[in-house]
Amino acid sequence: MKLFCVFGNPIKHSISPKLHNSAILGLNLNAMYFKKKIQDKDDLKKTFLEYCLSGANITVPFKEDAFKICDEIKGIANDIKAVNTIVLKDKKLIGYNTDANGFFKSINDFDIKNALILGAGGSSKAISFILKNNNINLDITNRSKEKLNFFTQHNFSTLLHEQIDTNKKYDLIINSTSAGLNDENLPIKKEILEKLFSNAKYAVDIIYNINTPFLNLAKAKNLITKDGKDMLLYQAVLAFNIFFDNQYDETTITKFMKKAFI
Ligand code: NDP
């Protein structure tokens, strides 16, 4: 039997086991996926090997640590410097980042030329590189300077909130901050957001299963909106395919994983 796991702290909230086990069951595979809270970054590799895992997902706050423990890094994870999916192949840990492509797949039907990302944390890195790789013009804004440095060093256009030009037209505004997750905060001042929304077509909040103040305001401005559920779903679909060597088509995996949301 192949074993898979998601590592994080906290991990109780994670629905990754539900998603993956739903696809494992649907495809009738001899495998199991569970969640494991770890206390320390040093436990990542140790636990992976102790449990004889075939693969793992990694969530907050260990994605950067996961990048460091891998023997080989594939694809966009090299730019983001964070890994959310690891597989064991020929005794080597191979690291991937499926958050980036998962996000892009979730906005597949959007027609966008330029975007503004609010927030400069881990998820913002994944979203920035995938949008840039797909030739979307991009500005990234954050309330404080420190986390913007990574983006400036990688030649992204970065702004503090007070530097935002509210007359600039962004097709898509993305909330990648945690504002609205456990509070009623907007990620930036309401008057700035209202002006940006009045020129925009789409708003995405990658927080899932919550009607955040950001999404509520976007809906009130008649924008096309999306929360983070599809990003979560598609990063899992892409990870599943990595776990099982691309043997199954994405549509089938998606169909089974979607059942876990019901
Ligand atoms: P990080 O902790 O790495 O970054 C958080 C960012 O949010 C920072 O830029 C921080 O700014 C900013 N921020 C936090 N609170 C506020 C606030 N009240 N107002 C303005 N800015 C704020 O988090 P992640 O990037 O890992 O995750 C961010 C969110 O994305 C979380 O809510 C998480 O649930 C969600 N997420 C969803 C995923 C999905 O699959 N749908 C995947 C990954 C994350 P500063 O630098 O100034 O502190």
pLDDT tens, residue by residue, 67-119: 999 999 999 999 999 999 999 999 999 999 999 999 999 999 999 999 999 99
Distance, CA 190 to ligand 1 centroid (Å)?
18
User: How confident is the model at residue 261, as a pLDDT?
Assistant: 83
**Does ligand 1 have an atom closer than 6 angstroms to the CB of 176?**
yes
Residues 151-157, mean pLDDT to the nearest whole number: 97
Residue 17 has pLDDT above 80, yes or no: yes
**Does ligand 1 have an atom closer than 6 angstroms to the CB of 30?**
no
Six-digit token string for 159 = 């702004």
User: How confident is the model at residue 23, as a pLDDT?
Assistant: 98
Query: Is residue 63 among the annotated active site residues?
Result: yes
**Does ligand 1 have an atom closer than 6 angstroms to the CB of 49?**
no
User: How confident is the model at residue 209, as a pLDDT?
Assistant: 86
**Does ligand 1 have an atom closer than 6 angstroms to the CB of 144?**
yes
* Options 63, 105, 125, 226, the catalytic residue: 63
Give this prediction's pTM.
0.96
Query: Taking all residues of the chain, what is their mean pLDDT, rounded to a whole number?
Result: 97
Q: Is 139 strand, coil or helix?
A: strand
Distance, CA of 52 to CA of 60 (rounded, Å):
22
Q: In a 10 Å sphere around its CB, with 0-12 CB exposed, 13-18 middle and 19+ buried, how is residue 3 labelled?
A: middle
Distance, CA 176 to ligand 1 centroid (Å)?
5
pLDDT in tens, 214-252: 999 999 999 999 999 999 999 999 999 999 999 999 999
pLDDT in tens, 164-198: 999 999 999 999 999 999 999 999 999 999 999 99
Residue 42 has pLDDT above 80, yes or no: yes
Helices (H), the chain: 16-26, 43-50, 63-69, 77-80, 99-106, 122-133, 148-153, 190-199, 213-220, 229-243, 250-259
Distance, CA 245 to ligand 1 centroid (Å)?
31
Residue 262 has pLDDT above 80, yes or no: no
Residue that is written with structure tokens 């994080």 in the block:
8
Residue 131 has pLDDT above 90, yes or no: yes
Residue 129 has pLDDT above 80, yes or no: yes
Distance, CA of 14 to CA of 21 (rounded, Å):
13
